[in-house]
Amino acid sequence: MLETVDLLDPRIETSALSAYGALWWNRTWGLRGALNRFPEDQVDQAPNDQLQVDIQRRLQSPVSDSYLSVGPGWEQNYFGSQGSLSGLRLSAGGRVHLPGVVSVYVNTGWSPNLKHLGTRQDVSTISVETGLVIEPMPFISLRAAYRYHLTDYTESVTGHDRREVTDGFWERDSLVISTQTIARQLAQHQPELSDTGDSHAAVALILDSAASTDDPEIVFIERARVPGDPWSGHIAFPGGRCEPGDQQPLDTAVRETEEEIGVDLSSARLLGRLDDLTGRRSHHLVVSCFVFITNSVGPFCQNHEVADVFTLPISRLLETKRQTEVQYEAWQGQVFPAIRLTNHEEPIIWGLTYRFLENFFALLGHQLPPS
């Protein structure tokens, strides 16, 4: 059974350049075209160019500028350097003329089979656009429109069904994973546990769904800068080493979270556990990661071990423009993948925290650059 992941995010917005044209014969048959262009560097997933041409047959036209219409058409979607997809589509539309020079319109389209492009298999699209048309003079019109375009496909690598969406008065595009999808995937996951280390530590990956269940935020800490501490200043999950009073690693994650940031996880829902990891510098240390979800994570109250506490939406962590690399001098200058949290080079997520995120997103069908 394929997993469906809804991709929708209101955070990434970019302007769109659109052109429209229509020609009617005897107020019965018409040819309509639209071209929508978006900056390629701002649209990671959904098409950056969309061309649609439709033949329309008016079903009802009580007056010349008010009508309902349907008909076949052709759609082409350009995915930048990846190539393009095209195919037949079915379209329907309507327009109601208001007093003066203003009309209200809606256009819809469905392309059931655009075939394949790269890892996208069995691609189909749905588009809906509605808005106002102002015609101050013949052959000239201005539009204010809300547009929704969905690209649905199966990813050949993971077998997951995917949806990529642009919508709004400006085009918006991103990857978002709902809390329902996360809970379902973690419930099916059997983590690989390790008992080879001489010592054990545990961390908590906390999902905060207070803002949105469609795009929960992950809680991170910035560790205090302490001389001699190998993790000084790192971006991490709350957690620490197991102590004699901890009966299991889960107890450690819960205790350390409350000590470090003042969050009581006893009322949070435990979704599951990721695979255990060992440190690159100290293979004797095994680290476990437990995934929790809550809708009331704050307020935070950090102790002396923590310099800052913050949350980031999952969608932001998955933006390809945030992927970077860090060179680690202690490992003979070896380069490791990382995630930039801002438009600057620092702060970044790398190391053990990045590896846990890599495992977490892999369960959900998203591949970060391998560590």
Domain finish residue from 174, 206, 227: 174
Last residue of a domain, one of 140, 174, 208: 174
* pTM, rounded to two decimals: 0.58
Range of the domain at 19: 4-174
In a domain, 368, yes or no: no
Q: Domain check: are 83 and 223 in the same one?
A: no
**Is residue 201 in some structural domain?**
yes
**Domain match, 157 and 198 both:** no
Please check whether residue 306 lies inside any domain of the structure: yes
Write out pLDDT tens, residues 350-362.
999 999 999 999 9
pLDDT for the residue 282 = 64
Domain count, the chain: 2
On whether both 138 and 217 belong to a single domain, the answer is no
Residue 134 and residue 164 share a domain: yes
Does some domain include residue 370?
no
Based on the fold, state whether residues 279 and 230 are members of the same structural domain. Answer: yes
Q: Is residue 107 domain-shared with residue 205, that is, in the same domain?
A: no
pLDDT given for residue 256 in this prediction: 96
Q: What is the CATH number of the domain that holds 101?
A: 2.40.160
pLDDT digits (tens, 9 = 90+) for 277-297: 987 766 688 999 999 999 888
Q: Where a domain ends, among 116, 144, 174?
A: 174
Specify if 41 maps to a domain.
yes
Same domain, 201 and 350: yes
For residue 51, being part of any structural domain is answered with yes
pLDDT in tens, 254-268: 999 999 999 999 889
pLDDT at 1: 25
Q: Which residues of the chain have pLDDT under 50?
A: 1-14, 44, 157-158, 169-174
* Together in a domain, 162 and 135: yes
Q: What is the CATH number of the domain that holds 237?
A: 3.90.79.10
Q: Does any domain span residue 255? A: yes
Establish if 77 belongs to a structural domain.
Answer: yes
Give me the pLDDT at residue 47, please. 66
Shared domain for 147 and 233, answered yes or no, is no
Instruction: Check whether residue 143 and residue 290 sit in a common domain.
Output: no
In this structure, are 189 and 338 located in the same domain? Answer: yes
pLDDT of res. 102: 87
3-state secondary structure the chain: CCCEECCCCCCCEECCEEEEEEEEECCCEEEEEEEEECCHHHCCCCCCEEEEEEEEEEEEEEECCEEEEEEEEEEEEECHHHCEEEEEEEEEEEEEECCCCEEEEEEEEEECCCCCECCEEEEEEEEEEEEEEEEEECCEEEEEEEEEEEEEEEECCCCCEEEEEEEECCEECCCCCCHHHHHHHHHHCCCCCCCCCCEEEEEEEEEECCCCCCCCEEEEEEECCCCCCCCCCCEECCEEECCCCCCCHHHHHHHHHHHHHCCCHHHCEEEEECCCEECCCCCCEEEEEEEEEECCCCCCCCCCCEEEEEEEEHHHHCCHHHEEEEEEHHHCCEEEEEEECCCCCCCEECHHHHHHHHHHHHHCCCCCCCC
**26 and 120 in one domain?**
yes
